[in-house]
Amino acid sequence: MVLLAISRPSLASEATGNGTENTITTLPIVIWKWEEIHFPYLVALWVLVSWLCKLVFQLNPCLTRVIPESGLLICIGWVLGGIIYGADKVQTFRLQPFTFFFYLLPQIVLDAGYSMPNKLFFGNLGAILVYAVIGTCWNAATLGLALWGCWLGGAMGNIDTGLLQLLLFGSLIAAVDPVAVIAVFEEVHVNEVLYILVFGESLLNDGVTVVLFNVFDAFVSLGGAQIDAVEIIKGIISFFVVAVGGSLVGVVFALLISLLTRCTKNIQIIEPGFIFVLGYLSYLTAEMLSLSAILSCTFCGVCCQKYINANMDERSVSTVRSTMKVFANGSETIIFVFLGISAIDPSIWVWNTAFILLTLLFIFVFRFIGVFLLTWILNQYRLVPLDFIDQLVMGYGGLRGAVAYGLVLLLDENKYKEKKLMISTTLIVVYFTVMLQGITMKPLVTWLKVKRAAVSERTLAEKIQNRTFDHMLVAIEDISGQIGDNYMRDKWNNFEEKWLYWLLMTPIARKSCDPIFNIFHKLNIKDATSYVKEGERRGSLAFVRNESKADVDFNKKFGADFSEMIRDSVPSVCLDMHEQDLKMRESEDFDAHHLLQQHLYKGRKQHRHRYSRKHLEVNKDEHEVQEIFQRTMRSRLESFKSAKMGVAPPKKISKHLKKDQPQKVREACTFSSFPLVFITILLEFLINLNLSPGLAGIVNPAFMAEMDTMDPMPPMQQIPSWLAEAEVDSSNMVPSQRAQLRLPWTPSNLRRLAPLCLSTHSNDSFLLADSPATQEGISELPPPPPPQDGQGQGTHK
């Protein structure tokens, strides 16, 4: 509506504009300056309108559950397009390829690269490349050939095209689109391997698409006669050049960014800006050199994320993250809205039923065939094969989107007489895949998974046991080390530590990559602040346990509970659990089931992947991991103490542990060095206190008893009930061996921290509970003068 009002005056004022300029007879107080600013105004207005569309369908939440957001945006685009067309009788606004490729796409790709879970990506890179390269070539070739066959057979009537043109068409429509895939897979949460395969494929196939597009375009220009072996070989070579070249450009820019962030300590305020500018430049540079721009941008993001996250200040990092999400999400919205608007334009529509239907059919069929074939080949080599359902989802998730549309618009009308037909077909394909496949993806996955989910978890025992099995499997996987241990990975980590850290990271960042320092530092600060806060708040130090108990309030309505749970977590298709719990409503076991549901540790298998276009929060899983880790360490310490192990000379920290966790706390595995810290601290304490050596017979080192002996109770006068009752099974001790390893710190530094504490998650509780030599050392510990120590802790950094 607003646009109509604006566009009309624009035409009107153009006419009178000249008039008013030349003949003003009096001082105009206010002038209508439409023509001068109409371009930026329209741009801003369109951005606003597109983003407002997102608001519109949030009004009705059930709608978003059924139709993916991208589909809804397209629908709104249709409505808007209809309005504009109705007003102007011509489609004044359309998604221009230039705008799309240079202003809307880069930030999406940069965001994808920056937020890419690197370990997963590189771990599956082989499979991803197979799907991206061979899969896309297969799709393009089969589609082109099939269409050509049908054309020869006369099914399409009289259209002026040829084999090469159809191959070109095949190549541009074959590629799975990153924008559409992300948009739909956001709603449907699948396991992380599947996700990374589809996602990675959609990003990397751009290399192939660009090459095929250019090659076939050139062939069409050359004409069929001139194509001989040389040209074909050149085509193949160009593929490698484009793909590898594009990636290299990205890597070069990643290096630049990392080096730059090394030096921007003093201009932290615009530090985040550099990422965006350089990321964009990487895209443009690759485009300028006619290499694959998407690959360049992706690899730029992928390679630099670690270093810039380490180099930059916390606030800069979160600024970068949020801003990227804003841009990426915003661009995506605009793209889909305009995809809708562009359709409402009779001038581009040429309808050829056979062509369109055949294209749809072939795309679908050949995608599935391609996926199954390639997966079958890959499964021979993969450690963890992809099962049938995953393949089905992968095939079904081959969505086409705006990239195809953008490419088809770039075609030259003179060479391609049937350009309009191709545009129409592309649009239909995009709508079909995004809307239909998007809508049906979730129900399909649910149906498949529910069919497969054998366990009904009716009884508590089953529920507990299933979780135990999950943890067990993860543990055995870790022990047998098949997943994760990798000769290449170790070599890369070595190289990285030796050279890259030195080159690309500031000295401070490097030091904080030393995991122990980092964690210790973080936790100290955290504990200090929480300690002081609590003290202030309570006025006394009788801390009780964290009172925001996440226990379910059983007075609440059942429905409300679950909608909260569902809304809180990223939506998942693991609906088997929800269904069962719904059925549990009436039984009195509901409380117990619900409790288990909420509070059982999830374990690695159920942790969801971290990349999400919409959600920024830190994964709750990290807290869980932290908690588990602390408890394990506590128990080991406890057993170590109980075992009264002989004092072994501390050794240097083994190199391999350091290698594994160069990252910040964000990576779960940084906590692996926890044991070193605390066990060695303890050891030093105990050594100094002359513990009697002598090994208690390590009979059956089993899991330690009540870790709750360690539960943080600062004044130590208050011992929660279970603490007092804790049975320490003294016959089964795990000798805590990490006592072998030593930290570079002296105990004196750390001792200062001893009588502190204590949020439930504080590591200081280790020291606290353990400082004196006795088992129930609690009583013997002189109650620390808390306020002073609070200060001490506060100042100790």
In sequence order, which ranges of 229-352 are alpha helices (DSSP H)?
Answer: 229-263, 271-288, 293-311, 314-343
Residue 476 interacts with another protein (CB under 8 A)? yes
* Beta carbon nearer to another protein, 11 or 450: 450
List 729, 742, 772, 796, residue binding another protein (CB under 8 A): 729
- Give pairs for 449-457: CB < 8 Å, separation 24+: 449/389, 449/573, 449/574, 449/575, 449/576, 450/575, 450/576, 450/579, 452/389, 453/576, 455/576, 456/576, 456/580, 457/576, 457/577, 457/580
Of residues 561 through 590, those in contact with another protein by CB under 8 A are: 589
Contacting range for another protein; rule: CB under 8 A; set: 18-26, 245-253, 425-433, 465-473: 465-473
Nearest-approach distance from CB 739 to another protein, in angstroms: 8
Contact present, 631 and 638 (Cβ < 8 Å): no
Residue 479 interacts with another protein (CB under 8 A)? yes
b or e along 492-508 (b: 16 or more beta carbons within 10 Å of the residue's beta carbon)? Answer: ebeeebeebbeebbbee
List 496, 497, 579, 624, residue binding another protein (CB under 8 A): 624
Of residues 667 through 726, those in contact with another protein by CB under 8 A are: 668-669, 671-675, 698-708, 720-722
Q: Which residue has the tokens 């545009």?
A: 423
Residue 734 interacts with another protein (CB under 8 A)? yes
List 38, 119, 471, 526, residue binding another protein (CB under 8 A): 471
Q: What is the 3-state secondary structure (H, E, C) of 432-482?
A: HHHHHHHHHHHHHHHHHHHHHCCCCCCCHHHHHHHHHHHHHHHHHHHHHCC
* Beta carbon nearer to another protein, 14 or 485: 485
Nearest-approach distance from CB 459 to another protein, in angstroms: 5
Phi, psi of 767 (to 5 degrees): -65, -40
Nearest-approach distance from CB 703 to another protein, in angstroms: 4
Of residues 384 through 403, those in contact with another protein by CB under 8 A are: 384-385
Contact partners, residue 676, CB within 8 Å, separation at least 6: 516, 653, 657, 738, 741, 743
The 8-class DSSP code of residue 520 comes to H
Site map for another protein, 293-322, x if CB under 8 A?
Answer: ------------------------------
* Beta carbon nearer to another protein, 108 or 739: 739
Of residues 534 through 563, those in contact with another protein by CB under 8 A are: 546, 549-551
Q: Which residue has the tokens 């955290």?
A: 526
Contact present, 227 and 201 (Cβ < 8 Å): no
Contacting range for another protein; rule: CB under 8 A; set: 120-128, 454-462, 503-511, 608-616: 454-462
Residue 732 interacts with another protein (CB under 8 A)? yes
* Beta carbon nearer to another protein, 406 or 735: 735
List 37, 44, 232, 475, residue binding another protein (CB under 8 A): 475
* Beta carbon nearer to another protein, 442 or 738: 738
* Beta carbon nearer to another protein, 496 or 708: 708
Cα separation, 516 vs 743, whole angstroms: 9
Contacting range for another protein; rule: CB under 8 A; set: 65-73, 182-190, 452-460, 746-754: 452-460
Phi, psi of 161 (to 5 degrees): -150, 180
* Beta carbon nearer to another protein, 20 or 654: 654
Nearest-approach distance from CB 145 to another protein, in angstroms: 37
Residue 119 interacts with another protein (CB under 8 A)? no
CA distances to 367, 628, 680, 698, 709 from 704, in Å: 52, 13, 19, 12, 11
* Residue 510: closest CA among 521, 522, 497, 523: 497
* Three-state DSSP state, 732: coil
* Residue 797: closest CA among 514, 527, 534, 513: 527
Residue 130 interacts with another protein (CB under 8 A)? no
Nearest-approach distance from CB 606 to another protein, in angstroms: 13
* Beta carbon nearer to another protein, 265 or 623: 623
* Beta carbon nearer to another protein, 74 or 625: 625
* Three-state DSSP state, 651: strand
Q: Which pair of tokens denotes residue 392? A: 């089905």
* Three-state DSSP state, 59: coil
Nearest-approach distance from CB 383 to another protein, in angstroms: 5
* Beta carbon nearer to another protein, 443 or 484: 484
Nearest-approach distance from CB 516 to another protein, in angstroms: 13
Cα separation, 536 vs 522, whole angstroms: 21
Nearest-approach distance from CB 612 to another protein, in angstroms: 22
Size of the site for another protein (CB under 8 A): 92
List 325, 467, 609, 613, residue binding another protein (CB under 8 A): 467
List 92, 118, 465, 486, residue binding another protein (CB under 8 A): 465
Contact present, 528 and 794 (Cβ < 8 Å): yes
Residue 780 interacts with another protein (CB under 8 A)? no
* Beta carbon nearer to another protein, 229 or 454: 454
Q: What is the 3-state secondary structure (H, E, C) of 347-368?
A: HHCCCCHHHHHHHHHHHHHHHH
Nearest-approach distance from CB 729 to another protein, in angstroms: 7
Of residues 750 through 769, those in contact with another protein by CB under 8 A are: 760
Residue 124 interacts with another protein (CB under 8 A)? no
Residue 79 interacts with another protein (CB under 8 A)? no
Contacting range for another protein; rule: CB under 8 A; set: 51-59, 112-120, 137-145, 381-389: 381-389
Q: Of how many residues is the chain composed?
A: 797
* Beta carbon nearer to another protein, 599 or 614: 599
The helix or strand, by DSSP H or E, that contains position 629, with its residue range, turns out to be helix 620-643
Residue 488 interacts with another protein (CB under 8 A)? no
Residue 472 interacts with another protein (CB under 8 A)? yes
Q: Which residue has the tokens 């159809």?
A: 166
Residue 659 interacts with another protein (CB under 8 A)? no
List 20, 482, 494, 529, residue binding another protein (CB under 8 A): 482
* Beta carbon nearer to another protein, 472 or 508: 472
* Beta carbon nearer to another protein, 656 or 797: 656
Of residues 499 through 538, those in contact with another protein by CB under 8 A are: none
Contact present, 102 and 406 (Cβ < 8 Å): no
Residue 468 interacts with another protein (CB under 8 A)? yes
Residue 661 interacts with another protein (CB under 8 A)? yes
b or e along 336-364 (b: 16 or more beta carbons within 10 Å of the residue's beta carbon)? Answer: bbbbbbbbbbeebebebeebbebbbebbb
Cα separation, 457 vs 305, whole angstroms: 41
Nearest-approach distance from CB 552 to another protein, in angstroms: 10
* Beta carbon nearer to another protein, 684 or 789: 684
Residue 448 interacts with another protein (CB under 8 A)? no
The helix or strand, by DSSP H or E, that contains position 492, with its residue range, turns out to be helix 487-495
Q: Which residue has the tokens 């995009």?
A: 430
| Chain CA centroid to CA 484, Å | 20
Nearest-approach distance from CB 172 to another protein, in angstroms: 38
